Amino acid sequence: MFQTCSEPGRTKGKAALVWAYLAASALLLAACGPSATQTPSGTQSEQPPQAQGQPQRGGAFRVMVSGYVSYGTVDAHRASFSPPVGFAGQSVNQIVKRNLNSGKYDIIPDLAESWQVSPDGLTYTFKLHKGVKFQNVPPVNGREFTSDDVEYMIKRISADPSIVLDKWKDLFTRRSDFTSVASIEKPDKYTVVVRMKQPDAVFMHNMATIGTIIVPKEMIDENPDRLIQDKIIGTGPFICKEYVPDVRQYCDRNPDYWKKDENGTQLPYLDRLEKNFYSGGDTSGAIAAFLAGQIEALAGQGGGPPSLTDADITTITKQMGDKAYLITSSGGNFGHIRINAKRPPFDNVKMRRAVYLAIDRQQIIDSTNRGGAEISALIPPALAGGGAQSVDDLLKLPGYRQPKDQDIAEAKRLVKEAGYDGATIDMNTSGSTAVIADLAALIKEQLGKAGINVNVKLTANYQDHLNEMLADKFNLTYTGHGASPDPDEYIYKHFATKGARNYYKFSDPKWDQLAEKQRAAVTDEERKKAVQEAVAYHAEVAPSVPLSATYNQFFYRSYTHGFGKPVQNVDGSAYFDVYWMDKR
C-alpha cells in the first residue's frame, strides 16, 4: 500500500530503521525523500482499504493527541483551534458544518434540517431537527434541543454580558464573529430566524466553523465562572465520562444519539473513544503506540504540534506495510511572507512586487517542507471552489512559473527602478524552529538574486516574533498559520485597513472596496467573482508573498473505516459518529 524507497532484510532492516531514525534521520531523508506526500490539491494520496460489507457496530477507537492540552482553553466558543475542538468534537453537534469528506469544505446541515437565505441576504432561517435530545447527563438530563440553544450559542460566542462574566469577555476571541447579527427570532422551538444588519457572506462560515458548537445553558451555569472547563455535554454521538488534562479523555457511545445512517442504523458505530494525550512534545511514545497496535490513528505532518518528521513517516510506513493507511489532504498550514507596507522600502509597491516575483516557492517547498506542501496563492488551492487558483493555474503565473529567470530579471528591474538596488533590509522572523531558520536563509538567498540583501534576525520564540509584529517592528517576516476554509480570512482580516490581522499595515482603498464587496456578496457566484478579483489584485500590489499550503497527514490502522479528510486534528472533527472498525 505504501510507497517505499527500499526493502531491507527483516531484522537487519529494522535495526537500520531504528538507528537511522535515532542517529541519521537526515541521511535517511536524503535517501528516501517523502514517500506518500506528493498529492494534488484536495485529493487523497491513499484511499482507505475497501471495507467488506456494511459498517459494523462496536469497538474502542483509541488515538493519541498531541499538544499541551491543559494549557489551552477547552472552551470551543472562545477559540476555534484544535485543543477545544479536540476536547469537545465527539460530544457535540453544530447547526451546520463543513463537509470534510467532499474535499470542497462545503457547508452541510447538522442540527439544522435545512436553511434559507433571503434574496437580499439579510435573513437566515434555520429549520432544526425535531426530537433531538441532549445527552442524558446531569444537569441537562436529556432535555430536548430547541431554538433557545441556538440563540444561547450565538450570544455566548459574542460574549453577551448576560452570559459571559465581564472579567472573562476578553478571552472570547471570536466575539466579533457575529457582529453583523441584528436580532435572533424564535418563531417556534424548531425555527431560528437570524436577521442581519447588512449582508455578511462570512456569517455561514462562522456558523460552520468547528468551534460553533451547541452546548446546554445548564452545563455553563453549573460552573461559577461560566466557562467550559473539564466537562462537555452536547447532542453528540459520545458521552465523555472522564477527562484528565494532559492524560486522557474517555467517552462512551451515546445510546440516545439522534442520527441514523442511510440504512436506518442508529449511529455511532463505535462503542468507545479513548483519547490519550501526549503532552510533552515528544512523538516517540505515540509512534511506538501506533506500531504496537495500542492506538488506531496517529497524526502525521500538519496534524497539530508536534507533527511527525519525514523520517518518522518513512519508518512507520515501512514498519506497518498494509496494516495501516495514510490519508493526506491539503490546506493544513498556510505559509507566507508578510511585508510591512507602511515602512520603507516596502511602502513602495515596486519593492513588494519584486519580492513577490523573486521568491521561488517550489524551491522553498522542496527544501523546507520536503514535498509535504503545495504552492499557494493568497487563498490555498484546496479551497479552489471558493475562488482560489488551482496549482496548475498558478504555475502559469508570474512569481510561480518555472524557470525563474524571467521573474528574477523583472524583480531586478523593479528594485533598480525603486532605487533600492543593493540595499540591505532586515528580515525579522521567529527562530523557534530550525525549519523557519532554514527558510529564512533560503529567502535571503533568493532575494539576493534580485539585488535585495537580506539581514535575517531571528527571535527566540514565536511569541516574541508576534510581539514584534504587533509593535510594527519588522520589514519582512515569514509566518505560517492555520488555513481557513473561508476567503474572508485571507482577504478582509489580513489586508483590509480595519482587518483584525492586518500586521502588514496595508491600506489601499481599492483593496478595502474589494474586501467589503466579497463580504457583502449575496450569492455564491457573486462572491466567487469578488474573491477572484481580490486575488488578482493581491498579486499586483503584493502586500504579502503566499508560499505554500501544507498537507495534513494521518495514519489509520487498516481495520478502521469512515474517515474523511483530516482537517484539524486526528480527533478534531465531529465525524466520529460514522467511524467504524472491522476489528474490535
Partner 1 sequence: MTRFIVRRLLMLIPVLLGVSLLIFTLMRVVPTDVAAMMLGENVSTETLASLRKDLGLDKPIPLQYFEWISNVVRGDLGRSIWLPDKTVTERLLQRLPVTFELALIATSVGIISGISFGVLAAVRQDTWVDNVARAVGIIGLAAPSFWIATIVILFPAIFWGWSIPAAYVDLTENPGNHLMKIVPAALVLGFSLTATVMRYSRTTLLEVLRQDYVRTARAKGLTERVVIYRHALKNALIPVVTISGQAFARQLGGTVIIETVFNIPGVGLLMIGAITARDYNMVQGGILILALFLAFSNLVVDVLYAVLDPRIRYS
What does the per-residue mask of binding to partner 1 show for 319-348, with x meaning CB under 8 A? x-----------------------------
User: Is the CB of 11 or the CB of 179 nearer to partner 1?
Assistant: 11
Q: Which is nearer to partner 1, 182 or 288 (CB)?
A: 288
Q: What is the helix (H) or strand (E) element at residue 516, kind and residue range?
A: helix 509-520
Nearest Cα to 328, choosing from 576, 490, 563?
Answer: 563
Q: Which of 127, 129, 226, 248 binds partner 1 (CB under 8 A)?
A: 248
Which position has the grid cell 503584493?
542
Least separation in angstroms between CB 526 and partner 1:
27
Does residue 279 touch partner 1 according to CB under 8 A? yes
- The pairing of beta strand 476-482 with beta strand 324-339: antiparallel
For partner 1, which stretch binds (CB under 8 A), given 140-148, 183-191, 289-297, 359-367?
289-297
Q: Is 54 in the site for partner 1 (CB under 8 A)?
A: no
Q: Rule CB under 8 A: say whether 247 interacts with partner 1.
A: yes
Q: Which C-beta is closer to partner 1: that of 70 or that of 125?
A: 70
**From the CB of 460, what's the least distance to partner 1, in Å?**
6
* Cβ atoms of 215 and 228 closer than 8 Å: yes
Q: Distance between CA 543 and CA 454 in Å, rounded?
A: 18
Strand pairing class (191-196; 324-339) = unpaired
Q: Which is nearer to partner 1, 37 or 430 (CB)?
A: 430
Residue 493 as a binder of partner 1 (CB under 8 A): the answer is yes
User: What is the CA 447 to chain-centroid distance, rounded?
Assistant: 29
Work out whether 288 is an interface residue with partner 1 (CB under 8 A).
yes
Contact flag: residue 557 with partner 1 (CB under 8 A): no
Q: Which stretch binds partner 1 (CB under 8 A): 44-52, 62-70, 140-148, 327-335?
A: 62-70
Q: Which is nearer to partner 1, 328 or 479 (CB)?
A: 479
Query: What is the C-alpha separation between 3 and 21, in angstroms, rounded?
Result: 18
* Nearest-approach distance from CB 20 to partner 1, in angstroms: 11
Q: 461 near 420, Cβ under 8 Å?
A: no
Type of residue numbered 445: E
- Cell reading at 59: 469497538
Asked if 291 interacts with partner 1 (CB under 8 A), we say: yes
Site map for partner 1, 446-475, x if CB under 8 A?
A: -------------xxx-xx-xx--x-----
Of the pair 276, 328, the CB lying nearest partner 1 is at 276
Helix (H, G, I), strand (E, B) or coil at 388: coil
DSSP at 497: T
Q: Which residues 6+ apart lie within 8 Å of 526 measured at CB?
A: none
Angle between helices 434-448 and 349-358 (to 10 degrees): 110
**Choice from 218, 252, 256, 274 touching partner 1 (CB under 8 A):** 274
Coil, helix or strand at residue 182? strand
CB–CB of 3/322 below 8 Å? Answer: no
Q: Does 285 bind partner 1 (CB under 8 A)?
A: yes
Stretch that binds partner 1, among 45-53, 192-200, 271-279, 383-391 (CB under 8 A): 271-279
Beta bridge partners of residue 478, listed in sequence order: 337
3-state secondary structure 237-287: CEEEEEEECCCEEEEEECCCCCCECCCCCECCCCCEEEEEEECCCCCHHHH
Q: Which of residues 113 and 282 has its CB atom nearest to partner 1 in the complex?
A: 282
> Cβ of 216: how many Cβ atoms within 10 Å?
22
- The C-alpha cell that represents 458 in the structure block: 531571528
- Footprint of partner 1 on 163-222 (CB under 8 A): 167, 170-171, 173
Contacts of 292 (CB under 8 A, 6+ apart): none
Q: Give Rg (Cα) of the chain.
A: 24
- In the complex with partner 1, which residue's Cβ is closer, 171 or 395? 171
Distances (CA, A) of 240 to 77, 135, 277: 18, 10, 15
Rule CB under 8 A: choose which of 265, 284, 406, 497 binds partner 1: 284
Q: Rounded to an integer, what distance in angstroms lies between the CA atom of residue 128 and that of residue 192?
A: 8
CA nearest to 330, candidates 375, 295, 267? 375
**Site size for partner 1 (CB under 8 A):** 61
Q: Give yes or no for residue 501 binding partner 1 (CB under 8 A).
A: yes
When the beta carbons of 188 and 282 are compared against partner 1, the nearer one is 282
The minimum distance between CB 79 and partner 1, in angstroms, equals 7
Considering the complex, state which of residue 55 and residue 499 has its C-beta at the smaller distance from partner 1: 499
- Name the residues that contact partner 1, by CB under 8 A: 11, 14, 17-18, 21-22, 62, 64, 68, 70-73, 79, 167, 170-171, 173, 223, 225, 227, 229-230, 244-248, 274, 276-282, 284-289, 291-295, 315, 319, 459-461, 463-464, 466-467, 470, 481, 493, 500-501
